[in-house]
Amino acid sequence: MAGELEGSKSLSGLLSGLAQDAFHGHPGITEELLHSQLYPEVPLEEFRPFLAKMRGILKSIASADMDFNQLEAFLTAQTKKQGGITCEQAAVISKFWKSHKTRIRESLVNQSRWDNGLRGLSWRVDGKSQSRHSAQIDTPVAIIELEFGKSGQDTVDLPCVVKHPESGSLHGDLGLWSLFMPGI
Partner 1 sequence: MAESPLREPVLDAKSEVTCQLIDFQWKLGMAVSSDQCRSLKYPYVAVMLKVADHSGQVNSKSIEMTIPQFQNFYRQFKEIAAVIETV
Rounded (5°) CA angle 74-50-101: 45
> Using CB under 8 A, which residues numbered 56 to 75 contact partner 1?
62-65
Q: Which residue from 123, 153, 173, 174 is in contact with partner 1, where contact means CB under 8 A? A: 123
Helix (H) or strand (E) holding 65: none
Helix (H) or strand (E) holding 109: helix 87-111
Q: Which residue from 1, 32, 52, 180 is in contact with partner 1, where contact means CB under 8 A? A: 180
CB neighbours (10 Å) of residue 63? 9
Closest by Cα among 145, 108, 104 to 124: 145
Kindly state whether residue 182 participates in binding partner 1, applying the rule CB under 8 A.
Answer: yes
Cα 53 to Cα 55: distance, rounded to the nearest angstrom: 5
The residue count of the chain comes to 184
Secondary structure of residue 173 in the 3-state scheme: coil
Task: Give me the least distance between CB of 152 and partner 1, in Å please.
Answer: 13
Among the listed ranges 1-9, 42-50, 91-99, 138-146, the one in contact with partner 1 (CB under 8 A) is: 138-146
- Select 87 or 121, whichever has its Cβ closest to partner 1: 121
Q: Which residue from 9, 80, 81, 132 is in contact with partner 1, where contact means CB under 8 A? A: 132
Helix (H) or strand (E) holding 94: helix 87-111
Among the listed ranges 47-55, 79-87, 95-103, 128-136, the one in contact with partner 1 (CB under 8 A) is: 128-136
Torsion sign, CA atoms 64, 67, 68, 72: negative
- Select 35 or 100, whichever has its Cβ closest to partner 1: 100
Kindly state whether residue 102 participates in binding partner 1, applying the rule CB under 8 A.
Answer: no
Binding region for partner 1 (CB under 8 A) = 62-65, 105, 108-109, 111-113, 115-118, 121, 123, 125, 127, 131-134, 137, 139-144, 146, 148, 162-165, 167-168, 175, 177-184
